[in-house]
Each structure stands twice: as structure tokens, then as C-alpha cells.
């Protein structure tokens, strides 16, 4: 019996060794999060996400002739696809019914109409006629500005700052993650220089920083919060 490898993996082997176990695992993961059917659907959807990813890596990525051109193309494309897939999946996770999830997904792609704050529509000049055909604003100018600012700020945090694997890269933060791999950061992180400067070390300064972050997190634990797994 030949050992398992990507080179001798057949379609039937892929289904048996990767696809079915992945779908089953993610089905159990969805059920663990809650007994609601949308939690289960969320888990199965992520099982399909992972199955597609594995199939792409085994079939397309390995047969791409130029590795450099593949990375130049797929690094940004893969990021966008992953972001959209995760955002769409989280709609299922947070929606009470499939109807609500469908309505939110339709709104995310503009099928329920597009709303602009009046303060923006008033400054569109010759495009004001086209803007007039849009739905009435659902958010006031202040609300829209606040949401936009938070999106930009949190987006910069997510894209420019190093992640936990990069911060802890010198200490093998996950099984099989080598420091050389973990040091690879995003384009924005490399431009900002964070990827090479922010490294966790057992020093007094890092101890103080972690204690401050822990204290801030504990301070914000109070207050009213919806119990996310109430359907369990």
C-alpha cells in the first residue's frame, strides 16, 4: 500500500481522506456552537470552504508553472475571496432565521436598494440625478461617518499590524509554524515595518504591555451583552 501523498491522491481518495472528514468535523463544530440549524449550516459551509481550499492546493496550485506569478496573483485574490467568504458565513452565524440571513446578504450586494446620507447626496453635483433614484438614507450623516471611520480604523489594524503568529514567531506559536514562515507579513505590515519590529520577548516591557491589555479587557467585561449561544 502506497503512503498517502498529494501526488498519488485520486478523486475518490480526496473525497474519503479530506472532503468527508472535513465536512463531518465542521458539521460537529457548527452543532457545538448551538442547536439552531443556522449554526449547523454555518459549520457545513465552512467545511465546503476548506474542501475547496484543499482541492485548489492539490490540483491548481501544484500545477502552476511559475510559483512567483502564482503568488503575485493569488495573494491579493485569495485575500479578497477569503474575506468575502468569511463575512458571508458570519451572516448565517448571527441571523435568527434563514429569511433574515437572505435579506442581509441581499442588502450587502445592493439588491435591497442603496442608501446615501443626504449630506453626501447634496454634494454630488451632476450626479445628483442618479443619486435621486436611490432609496432614502437609512443612516444620518453622523451615523454614516462614524461607521466609515470605524471600518477604516479597524481595517488598518487588521491589515497593517502583525498577527499573533508574527508577534510570537520566534517561539513556534503553533505546531509546525516555523519562524521563517511566521515572519512573512502583509504588504502593509512590511511597508510600515511592524512585521520586523514587533516581536514578543520575555522582557519587562512586554510584561507591562500584556498586563495593561489584560486589565483593559477585564474592565470591559461588564455591562449588558446578548448571549450569542442562546439557541443551544
152 lies in some domain: no
Asked whether residue 193 falls in the same domain as residue 96, the answer is no
DSSP state of 230: T
232 lies in some domain: no
Asked whether residue 29 falls in the same domain as residue 98, the answer is yes
The confidence score (pLDDT) of residue 75 equals 85
pTM above 0.85, yes or no: no
120 lies in some domain: no
Residue 35 CA to residue 48 CA, distance in Å, equals 20
Asked whether residue 107 falls in the same domain as residue 173, the answer is no
155 lies in some domain: no
Out of 81, 112, 143, a domain closes at 112
Q: Per residue in 136-151, pLDDT tens?
A: 444 444 566 777 788 8
230 lies in some domain: no
Question: What is the average pLDDT score of the chain?
Answer: 77
127 lies in some domain: no
93 lies in some domain: yes
The confidence score (pLDDT) of residue 139 equals 46
> 3-class secondary structure for 142-188?
HHHHHHHHHHHHHHHHHHHCCCHHHHCHHHCCCCCCCHHHHCCCCHH
Q: Per residue in 177-214, pLDDT tens?
A: 665 544 445 555 554 455 456 678 888 998 999 999 99
Q: Per residue in 93-128, pLDDT tens?
A: 888 889 999 999 988 887 776 666 656 656 666 665
Who has greater pLDDT, 206 or 163?
206
Out of 112, 146, 176, a domain closes at 112
Q: Per residue in 45-87, pLDDT tens?
A: 999 999 999 898 888 877 888 888 888 888 889 989 999 999 9
Q: Name the domain count of the chain.
A: 2
In terms of residue numbers, what domain contains 169? 161-224
54 lies in some domain: yes
Asked whether residue 175 falls in the same domain as residue 106, the answer is no
Amino acid at each position: 500500500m502506497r503512503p498517502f501523498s498529494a501526488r498519488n491522491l485520486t478523486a475518490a481518495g480526496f473525497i474519503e481522506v479530506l472532503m468527508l472528514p472535513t465536512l463531518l468535523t465542521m458539521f460537529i463544530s457548527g452543532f457545538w456552537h448551538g442547536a439552531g440549524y443556522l449554526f449547523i449550516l454555518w459549520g457545513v459551509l465552512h467545511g465546503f470552504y476548506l474542501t475547496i481550499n484543499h482541492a485548489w492546493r492539490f490540483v491548481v496550485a501544484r500545477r502552476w508553472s511559475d510559483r512567483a506569478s502564482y503568488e503575485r496573483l493569488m495573494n491579493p485574490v485569495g485575500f479578497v475571496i477569503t474575506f468575502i467568504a468569511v463575512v458571508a458565513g458570519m451572516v448565517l452565524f448571527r441571523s435568527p432565521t434563514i429569511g433574515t440571513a437572505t435579506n442581509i446578504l441581499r442588502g450587502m450586494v445592493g439588491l435591497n436598494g442603496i442608501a446615501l446620507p443626504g449630506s453626501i447626496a447634496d454634494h454630488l453635483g451632476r450626479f445628483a440625478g442618479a443619486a435621486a433614484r436611490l432609496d432614502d438614507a437609512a443612516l444620518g450623516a453622523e451615523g454614516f461617518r462614524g461607521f466609515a471611520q470605524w471600518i477604516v480604523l479597524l481595517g488598518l489594524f487588521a491589515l497593517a499590524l502583525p498577527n499573533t503568529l508574527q508577534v510570537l514567531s520566534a517561539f513556534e506559536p503553533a505546531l509546525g509554524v516555523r519562524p521563517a514562515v511566521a515572519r512573512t507579513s502583509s504588504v502593509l505590515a512590511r511597508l510600515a515595518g511592524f512585521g520586523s519590529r514587533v516581536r514578543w520577548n520575555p522582557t519587562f516591557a512586554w510584561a507591562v504591555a500584556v498586563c495593561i491589555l489584560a486589565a483593559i479587557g477585564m474592565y470591559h467585561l461588564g455591562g449588558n451583552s446578548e448571549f450569542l449561544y442562546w439557541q443551544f
